[in-house]
């Protein structure tokens, strides 16, 4: 008598996703293949289709994926910790955005193999997995790509979600698409989440209770020792910033924030003639908009790119038109505004200025950094503003009172120390446990 083996049923939602992603591949493939015949070998889109790229059947201990600059910062901390404990590990790191890839090449190219993250088409993933094998895969924050994760799982890879977070908006979206993402979540052997709120959200969208671990936020642990006082002195000397100059830095500003921030800075400048203002857009394509606002208001400015080439600073407004300097500029600031928060973008990393002991100012939109915003407000290291008028009032109050600045800055730094709690070290332990477990099972 023949026994029938019952095949595990694929949820309808996942079937639809796979079919649509496969059809989309065929629709877009001719365009991308055309690109592969011209241009630079490093063309981003050709690499995302995994065309004209051979890894020669490489085998890695661990592949870490960081979608953009913020996640790359987490990746740097994890890589450094992993290699400090086990220097012989063979690591692969990927990113999606141009900014993330630039930072990867700058910070990690000598420590790891680097790769552009592939598009989640079945055909692309099949090409990728025929050339790359990894014992452990770690996606950072909310990287839930069904074809990739399920493909890795089928190949015997131990998948981990690191520094997991799920905003209220994302939670609602994933909950509606449970048929697609529940099997993906159940393919992770461990899901390391930042806090209990995120743990609850992940469980409600289908993650198993056993796989969920609250580890804290690894993004912040690396900031504790990151400030470089020598680098700070070099920048101040190069820009001619002495004891009389005060500095305001507006970092990671997004579209719609240029006018309110510049207007608040201009008002503060009238009250404090020696104030120097740095405007740092999140994306370089916003530079023309920033310059237009300054020119419209008759404000003279220097471009950071020209100052880097040796041009002497001739204005008290500096527009940063390159990627990279923001963190060090927070270090020379007497107070800092973190953008993406006056407009509904969810904010940026509030703990970067806090790591320098700099008072942190931000708008009401901080869904991407809920825990950081909460502890900064609770401990008195951060101040929320709703508009340009409130931003001016806070800047003015801080610049007038050095003791107040120092106290708030100290509390900001203490908030960082409180929120970190060895999160990166904890997640590194989990990565190594999964690696050892997989190696023993071979």
Which listed residue (41, 71, 110, 308) is catalytic?
A: 71
Residue 34 pLDDT: 57
Same domain, 169 and 271: no
Instruction: Say what the pTM is.
Output: 0.80
Same domain, 167 and 272: no
pLDDT (tens digit, 9 = 90+) per residue, 82-97? 999 999 999 999 999 9
35 occurs within a structural domain: no
CA atoms within 13 Å, Cβ hemisphere of 159: 22
- Distance CA(412)–CA(373), nearest Å, equals 10
Same domain, 166 and 288: no
pLDDT (tens digit, 9 = 90+) per residue, 159-179? 999 999 998 889 999 999 888
7 occurs within a structural domain: no
Give me the mean pLDDT over the 105-130 stretch: 93
Residue 66 pLDDT: 96
Give me the mean pLDDT over the 24-38 stretch: 68
The yes-or-no verdict on residue 232 having pLDDT over 90 is: yes
- Distance CA(71)–CA(327), nearest Å, equals 15
- Distance CA(97)–CA(211), nearest Å, equals 29
- Distance CA(176)–CA(159), nearest Å, equals 24
* Residue bearing tokens 């909950």: 175
34-38, 56-60, 265-269: which range is least confident on average? 34-38
12 occurs within a structural domain: no
Same domain, 194 and 289: no
* 12's tokens: 């309808």
Same domain, 323 and 374: yes
Angle between helix 168-176 and helix 178-185 axes, rounded to 10 deg: 100
Same domain, 394 and 431: no
Give me the mean pLDDT over the 398-410 stretch: 98
CATH number, position 397: 3.40.50.2000
Other residues' Cβ atoms within 10 Å of the Cβ of residue 179: 16
- Distance CA(22)–CA(237), nearest Å, equals 56
Q: Number of helices and strands (H, E) in the chain? A: 20, 14
42-51, 62-71, 391-400, 433-442: which range is least confident on average? 42-51
Q: What are phi and psi of 384, to 5 degrees?
A: -95, 135
**Can you point out the beta strands (E) in 49-131?**
58-65, 91-95, 113-116
Same domain, 54 and 185: yes
Secondary-structure breakdown of the chain: helix, strand, coil percentages, each rounded to the nearest 5: 50, 15, 30
Give the rounded percent of residues in the chain with a pLDDT score beyond 70.
Answer: 94
Q: Are 49 and 32 in contact (CB under 8 A)?
A: yes
Residue 1 pLDDT: 44
Residue 56 pLDDT: 64
Residue 36 pLDDT: 45
Which of the two residues, 126 and 420, has the higher pLDDT score?
Answer: 126
Question: Which range of residues forms the domain containing residue 70?
Answer: 43-216+422-441
Is 259 catalytic? The answer is: no
The yes-or-no verdict on residue 5 having pLDDT over 70 is: no
The yes-or-no verdict on residue 183 having pLDDT over 50 is: yes
37 pLDDT band (50/70/90 cuts)?
very low
8 occurs within a structural domain: no
221 pLDDT band (50/70/90 cuts)?
confident
Q: How many domains does the chain have?
A: 2
Same domain, 395 and 432: no
38 pLDDT band (50/70/90 cuts)?
very low
Give me the mean pLDDT over the 405-431 stretch: 94
Residue 414 pLDDT: 97
311 occurs within a structural domain: yes
Give me the mean pLDDT over the 58-81 stretch: 93
The yes-or-no verdict on residue 110 having pLDDT over 90 is: yes
The yes-or-no verdict on residue 39 having pLDDT over 70 is: no
Which of the two residues, 244 and 179, has the higher pLDDT score?
Answer: 244
pLDDT (tens digit, 9 = 90+) per residue, 254-263? 999 999 999 9
CATH number, position 169: 3.40.50.11720
Q: How do strand 158-164 and strand 188-193 relate by DSSP bridges?
A: parallel
If phi > 0 it is left, if psi is from -120 to 50 it is alpha, else beta; for residue 359 that is: beta
Same domain, 73 and 145: yes
36 occurs within a structural domain: no
The yes-or-no verdict on residue 40 having pLDDT over 50 is: no
Residue 54 pLDDT: 60
The arrangement of strands across the sheet holding 317-319 comes to: 302-303, 317-319, 275-281, 246-253, 335-338, 360-362, 382-384
* 240's tokens: 């001619």
Same domain, 399 and 279: yes
- Distance CA(403)–CA(375), nearest Å, equals 21
Furthest CA-CA distance within the chain: 93
- Distance CA(60)–CA(88), nearest Å, equals 11
If phi > 0 it is left, if psi is from -120 to 50 it is alpha, else beta; for residue 371 that is: alpha
Which ranges of 217-296 would DSSP assign to H, the alpha helix?
Answer: 218-221, 229-239, 258-271, 287-296
10 occurs within a structural domain: no
Same domain, 367 and 428: no
Give me the mean pLDDT over the 419-428 stretch: 89
The yes-or-no verdict on residue 7 having pLDDT over 70 is: no
Residues 6+ apart with CB under 8 A from 369: 346, 347, 348, 349, 350, 351
């Amino acid at each position: 008598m023949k026994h029938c083996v019952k095949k595990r049923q694929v949820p309808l939602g996942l079937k639809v996703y796979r079919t649509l992603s496969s059809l989309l591949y065929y629709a877009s493939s001719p365009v991308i293949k055309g690109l592969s015949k011209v241009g630079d070998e490093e063309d981003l889109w050709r690499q995302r289709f995994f065309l004209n790229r051979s890894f020669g059947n490489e085998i890695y201990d661990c592949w870490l994926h960081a979608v953009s600059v913020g996640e790359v910062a987490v990746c740097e901390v994890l890589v450094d910790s992993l290699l400090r404990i086990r220097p012989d590990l063979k690591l692969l790191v990927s990113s999606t955005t141009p900014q993330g890839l630039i930072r990867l090449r700058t910070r990690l190219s000598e420590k790891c193999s680097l790769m552009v993250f592939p598009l989640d088409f079945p055909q692309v993933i099949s090409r990728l997995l025929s050339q790359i094998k990894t014992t452990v895969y770690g996606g950072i924050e909310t990287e839930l790509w069904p074809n990739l994760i399920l493909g890795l799982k089928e190949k015997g890879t131990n998948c981990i979600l690191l520094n997991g977070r799920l905003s209220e908006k994302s939670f609602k979206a994933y909950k509606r698409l449970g048929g697609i993402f529940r099997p993906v979540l159940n393919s992770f052997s461990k899901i390391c989440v930042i806090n209990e709120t995120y743990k609850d959200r992940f469980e409600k969208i289908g993650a198993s209770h056993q796989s969920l671990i609250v580890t804290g936020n690894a993004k912040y642990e690396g900031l504790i020792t990151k400030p470089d006082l020598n680098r700070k002195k070099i920048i101040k000397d190069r820009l001619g910033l002495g004891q009389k100059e005060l500095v305001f830095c507006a970092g990671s500003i997004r579209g719609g924030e240029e006018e309110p921030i510049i207007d608040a800075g201009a008002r503060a400048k009238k009250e404090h003639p020696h104030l120097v203002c740095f405007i740092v857009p999140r994306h370089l394509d916003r530079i023309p908009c920033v310059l237009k606002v300054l020119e419209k208001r008759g404000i003279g400015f220097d471009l950071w790119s020209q100052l880097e080439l040796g041009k002497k600073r001739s204005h008290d407004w500096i527009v940063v038109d390159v990627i990279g300097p923001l963190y060090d500029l927070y270090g020379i600031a007497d107070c800092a505004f973190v953008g993406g928060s006056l407009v509904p973008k969810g904010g940026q990393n509030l703990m970067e200025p806090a790591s320098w002991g700099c008072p942190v100012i931000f708008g009401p939109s901080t869904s991407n950094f809920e825990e950081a915003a909460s502890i900064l407000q609770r401990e008195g290291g951060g101040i929320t503003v709703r508009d340009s008028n409130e931003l001016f009032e806070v800047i003015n109050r801080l610049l007038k009172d050095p003791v107040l600045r120092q106290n708030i800055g100290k509390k900001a730094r203490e908030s960082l120390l409180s929120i970190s709690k060895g999160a990166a070290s904890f997640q590194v332990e989990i990565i190594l446990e999964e690696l050892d477990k997989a190696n023993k099972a071979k």
